[in-house]
Structure 1
Amino acid sequence: MSHRAMVLWCPDWPVSAAIQESQELDARRPIALIQKGEVFACSSSARLEGVRRGLRLREAQARCTQLQLVNYDPNHDLRAFQPVLAAIEQIMPGAQLLRPGTCAIRAKGPARYFGSEHQAAEVLRDSVLGLGVQQALVGIADGIFAAEQAARKSNDIRIVQPEASADFLSRLPLSVLQQPDLVSLLQRLGLETLGDFAALTANKVRSRFGEDGARAHLLARGLDSRTVVPQAPPPELDVVVDFEPALSRVDQLAFAIKTSAERFIDGISEEGLVCTAVRIRLESDSGEHLERVWKHPRFFDAEDVLDRVRWQLQGRAGTGPELDAELSSGITKVLLSPESTADGGSHAQGLWGNGPQERVHHGLSRIQSMVGHGAVLTAVLAGGRMLAQRSVLIPWGDSPPRELRELERERARPWPGSLPGPAPATLFDDPPTVQVLDTEGRTIEVDERLELSGRPAFFTPPIQASRAEAQRLINAWAGPWPVDERWWESSSQSLHRFQLVDSTDAAWLLFCRNGQWLAEASYD
């Protein structure tokens, strides 16, 4: 049985949120929000010019030359809708956020309190319009799905009488199901409306279209079993510690907030969560503040939080007891806030422990707590042609300097001239000079046509380049492979790579640049 639901819908909410966030947008001109090169949402004036959701960017600009373009950010939508939700909770508690700009409320309680469903809808609509929202539409029907469609088909308020949702939905097109694959298949079968779809037998729909099709069939018949789930207020997990008088030493502050750090972690654990990123804000007596988000490779405990507070306080001062040079006075306030959390069940301790990974993490974290945050580094693979460009060192537990997706995209690029696998084991941070000679003892050179001045015969490794007896025979070699980077810029780099094996069976990766030979890496 479907329950009576009341749905508030604010048309073009992403556009309204973008206007609130940006003062440069002119609400009187056409606006389009762009995501992945396509129109995600557009204003009514843009639709009059032929702009539609899903249209490619260039096509949208061709249809409307005055179109204002904004990159879509879902966080803007949610942030702008939070005051609206808070206002609704004041008059009708128990609202459920369906998406930014749309929320559902159980209709029974407000209808009894305000006298009727229509009066409750009027109060809701007037309250939202009073917040400055340009347009607010309300629909009431049996079930959330039918109530939302009623709101979308109304000019202000539309009420579908009890047990009349199936008849109301029967005239709507299949596209309201928002399942493109299913809708396309139904249309090829000759079905056009929800009524056509609802007329099919439930067993045949399930056997032909699966569970997704069966759920859509129930919606088309007006049998939405979903109930309005009130939005639970988020728990208050922040911990604030004030100090009077101000503390000016790192060890004093770390000792003073130890109990608060334990309370911070315990509060998160009581919610069945673990903290994977923490925001720490430090305020000084003179009004200065230091704020940073710290991430953890697993999750924080109280000792980890204390370490991050200490590292943030020390800053450029290293591991000494004094505060960071950016602070001219003592600390009066510390704020600990969970930036991101995860389900504690997915991080629970295994029956036999978590294996070598847990021991590695414990050891590195222990060393880091003793020698400092930036003293323990781990490598992240990036993109690039040279081996030194592909390795990015970051402190243990920190996230990469760029977003992980960007690093993955860089690694996936072709990078012409990059070295194929297997990669060398030893990489020289500062490539040392070596010698590669021909049979007559002359240095090998590479011309513009990638031809060598002679056959490589002798090689002097970098660690013994000053000793004449260290010269070795070359058993095998391969190359050259040219690397031309940004030839159109003054900072361009042009070199030629070689691989060779000397008489001791040691393998080397070399490159020749401007007639000089250097060792990039060695194969151990």
Structure 2
Amino acid sequence: MGSRIIVGWIPDYPVIAAGALDAGPVAVVHRDEVVACSGSARMAGVRRRMRVRVAQSRCPQLRVVERDLAAEFRVFEPTVRHIEETVMPRLEVIRPGLIAAPARGPSRYWGGEPHLVERLAAALAEVDLPARTGIADSVFTAALAARTGQLVPLGGDAAWLAPYPVGVLGLPRLAELLERLGVRTVGAFAALPEKRVLARFGAEGIAAHRTARGHHERPLAVRMDSGEHTVSYVFEPGVHLLEPVVFAAKASAEQLHERLTAAGVVCARLETVVELAGGRSLSRTFRHEGRLSSLAVAERVRGVLQAWSDVGLLDAGGEAGIIRLVLRPEQLTAATGRQSALFGEGRTSEEIERAAARVQAMLGHQAVVRAELGGGRGPSDQVRLVPFGDLDTGPRLPDGPWPGRLPAPHPATVFPRWLPAQLTDTRAQQVTVSGRLALSAAPDRLTVEGHGEAVVDGWSGPWPVLERWWDRDRGRRIARMQITTAGGHAWLLTIEHGRWWAEAHYG
């Protein structure tokens, strides 16, 4: 038998969480786009993904509520606990109002899939939430089946999805292109050769193709009650030195791993909480994914404790030291084992992570970082350096689209601080860029601080970048050019306020 997934869906949950379900026409919006709306708003023509101004033109009485995702999770948490206690202990919160769980075990307990569906719907009704449920072989198909309350037969995902339009795959641009090519249904898309789909539509297209064929998009990361696996260590009296806390972290991590192993699960993240005598608490969440040893956990704790101590967080207000250390596993999933990866001379990823943690313990938490890619137009905007082992929780630019983004090939060296540069013409006059992006003269020579002067033998651009024109403090208006020199070097230049800078070097 294949795996089976049950999905519970609460329609219009953002409206419910905002407490506005019975308040007439309501739309919950995020970034000037409707993400959910009430039934009366839909009757007036309001739809998801609609711009706020368009929605208000269709429904002048529309009440607009800004989305608060944190509040949605907070409001949804008691419902999740209720389902864990009354229906099934293992589930995943896909988003507030949408949950998924393996169906095989609970269906056996409740006497079959139809009875499980009824029990889940009844549990949600007990907390006054209208819900719809569905079961299929994959999360995507089960979520779609939940909209009509259907149970898709075992092994029948592809056939059940086939009549639907390609728009249900949730990729508007891909759907538009497929429709232009005459591929209008999920079944027709699934019938295309996989290699052709990959070559034409890339990774996004092949993922949608797998979904269309009824394959699993990813393993279900079930949520399990992690309270029973939480480990804490109490210090009496409170301690000021870091070494006792690090020693306690190692012992607590060993105890935590024993509990997780006995339960047959691993955690994706590990939250470390330090409670201070004055009532404050500090926390840091690490990626774990079943790969951190107890020593690696202790070394991470040492690193963050040292970082907090360096900035005075551990002794603010004269508090009498650390009184409690808590290790709390998050996002528990079934332990299925993992393949050791090779790196260099046969080093496993655990050994690499342990070595990185030791370097952090000796040189500081910021000593070892990893690169995280994100949005932005320039090369320096697209890369963030995050301390090794930390989650990237800082502010980051969205993935896009970013009109005017610098195309590939990308520079080999991006300077942390732009280098002063001079771009001159044959008369040794500085080359300028007009408001219409016209060069005052053809570039002849380029001088970059620390790299000398070179003859220009080619260029492209300039390309304009106008960002946040409405923000006086953060707005930016620049132009970029790519310059090649006779010595075989290539540069990315930026002109801002009439002054040239070297932003990156292509090597």
Q: Which position in structure 2 is the counterpart of 1:291?
A: 283
CA contact (8 A) 2:370 2:385 kept: yes
Q: TM-score, normalised to structure 1's length?
A: 0.60
State whether structure 2 residue 71 is matched by structure 1 residue 79: no
> Structure 1's 315 and 145: CA in aligned 2 closer, same or farther, altered over 3 A?
closer
Q: Which position in structure 2 is the counterpart of 1:411?
A: 399
Unaligned runs of 5+ in 1: 1-9, 111-139, 155-173, 187-230, 465-469
Q: Which position in structure 2 is the counterpart of 1:436?
A: 423
Q: Which position in structure 2 is the counterpart of 1:329?
A: 320
Q: Which runs of structure 2 are paired with 1:379-390 in the superposition (5 Å)?
A: 379-390=371-382
- What code does the residue aligned with 1:394 have? V
Following the alignment from structure 1 to structure 2, what is the Cα–Cα distance between the partners of residues 272 and 150? 29
What is the SS of the residue equivalent to 1:287? coil
* Structure 1 position 288, deviation (Å): 2.4
- What code does the residue aligned with 2:328 have? S
CA contact (8 A) 2:342 2:348 kept: no
CA RMSD of aligned residues (A): 5.1
* Structure 1 position 275, deviation (Å): 2.8
Q: Which position in structure 1 is the counterpart of 2:478?
A: 495
* Structure 1 position 324, deviation (Å): 5.1
- How many pairs does the alignment contain? 398
Give percent identity, aligned residues only.
Answer: 26
CA contact (8 A) 2:308 2:314 kept: no
> Structure 1's 420 and 101: CA in aligned 2 closer, same or farther, altered over 3 A?
closer
The superposition leaves residues 131-159 of structure 1 with CA deviations (integer Å, 9 ceiling, x where unpaired) of xxxxxxxxx9995179679989x9xxxxx
- What code does the residue aligned with 2:81 have? Q
* Structure 1 position 422, deviation (Å): 0.6
State whether structure 2 residue 362 is matched by structure 1 residue 375: no
CA contact (8 A) 1:274 1:300 kept: no
> Structure 1's 497 and 185: CA in aligned 2 closer, same or farther, altered over 3 A?
closer
> Structure 1's 479 and 60: CA in aligned 2 closer, same or farther, altered over 3 A?
closer
Following the alignment from structure 1 to structure 2, what is the Cα–Cα distance between the partners of residues 146 and 246? 51
1:463 to 445, 450, 456: 450
Q: Which runs of structure 2 are paired with 1:86-235 in the superposition (5 Å)?
A: 86=85, 144=115, 176-177=149-150, 182=160
CA contact (8 A) 2:303 2:360 kept: no
Q: Which position in structure 1 is the counterpart of 2:488?
A: 505
Q: Which position in structure 2 is the counterpart of 1:118?
A: none
CA contact (8 A) 2:273 2:283 kept: yes
Following the alignment from structure 1 to structure 2, what is the Cα–Cα distance between the partners of residues 98 and 488? 41
What is the SS of the residue equivalent to 1:79? helix
- What code does the residue aligned with 2:456 have? I
The superposition leaves residues 450-480 of structure 1 with CA deviations (integer Å, 9 ceiling, x where unpaired) of 332322222223215xxxxx43322222232
Q: Which position in structure 1 is the counterpart of 2:458?
A: 476
The superposition leaves residues 160-184 of structure 1 with CA deviations (integer Å, 9 ceiling, x where unpaired) of xxxxxxxxxxxxxx95536698499
Following the alignment from structure 1 to structure 2, what is the Cα–Cα distance between the partners of residues 310 and 304? 10
Q: Which runs of structure 2 are paired with 1:417-428 in the superposition (5 Å)?
A: 418-428=405-415
Q: Which runs of structure 2 are paired with 1:440-459 in the superposition (5 Å)?
A: 440-459=427-446
* Structure 1 position 259, deviation (Å): 2.1
State whether structure 2 residue 461 is matched by structure 1 residue 515: no
What is the SS of the residue equivalent to 1:144? helix
CA contact (8 A) 1:477 1:499 kept: yes
CA contact (8 A) 1:483 1:496 kept: yes
* Structure 1 position 519, deviation (Å): 0.8
* Structure 1 position 237, deviation (Å): 0.5
Q: Which position in structure 2 is the counterpart of 1:227?
A: none
Following the alignment from structure 1 to structure 2, what is the Cα–Cα distance between the partners of residues 443 and 345? 64
Following the alignment from structure 2 to structure 1, what is the Cα–Cα distance between the partners of residues 41 and 383? 51
CA contact (8 A) 1:14 1:41 kept: no
What is the SS of the residue equivalent to 1:504? coil
> Structure 1's 311 and 327: CA in aligned 2 closer, same or farther, altered over 3 A?
farther
Q: Which position in structure 2 is the counterpart of 1:308?
A: 300
- What code does the residue aligned with 1:436 have? L
> Structure 1's 437 and 143: CA in aligned 2 closer, same or farther, altered over 3 A?
closer
Q: For the pair shown, which has the larger CA radius of gyration, 1 or 2?
A: 1
CA contact (8 A) 1:288 1:327 kept: no
Following the alignment from structure 1 to structure 2, what is the Cα–Cα distance between the partners of residues 245 and 316? 20
> Structure 1's 338 and 150: CA in aligned 2 closer, same or farther, altered over 3 A?
closer
Following the alignment from structure 1 to structure 2, what is the Cα–Cα distance between the partners of residues 479 and 149? 60
Following the alignment from structure 2 to structure 1, what is the Cα–Cα distance between the partners of residues 286 and 305? 13
Q: Which position in structure 1 is the counterpart of 2:332?
A: 341
* Structure 1 position 392, deviation (Å): 1.1
Following the alignment from structure 1 to structure 2, what is the Cα–Cα distance between the partners of residues 463 and 95? 63
- What code does the residue aligned with 1:461 have? V
The superposition leaves residues 499-523 of structure 1 with CA deviations (integer Å, 9 ceiling, x where unpaired) of 2222322221112223322111111
The superposition leaves residues 211-242 of structure 1 with CA deviations (integer Å, 9 ceiling, x where unpaired) of xxxxxxxxxxxxxxxxxxxx997771111211
What is the SS of the residue equivalent to 2:428? coil
The superposition leaves residues 254-298 of structure 1 with CA deviations (integer Å, 9 ceiling, x where unpaired) of 224432221112211222222331122222223222233222476
- What code does the residue aligned with 2:410 have? A
Q: TM-score, normalised to structure 2's length?
A: 0.62
Q: Which position in structure 2 is the counterpart of 1:262?
A: 254
- What code does the residue aligned with 2:464 have? P
What is the SS of the residue equivalent to 2:272? strand
* Structure 1 position 430, deviation (Å): 1.4
CA contact (8 A) 1:497 1:509 kept: yes
> Structure 1's 31 and 330: CA in aligned 2 closer, same or farther, altered over 3 A?
farther
> Structure 1's 314 and 432: CA in aligned 2 closer, same or farther, altered over 3 A?
same
CA contact (8 A) 2:306 2:364 kept: no
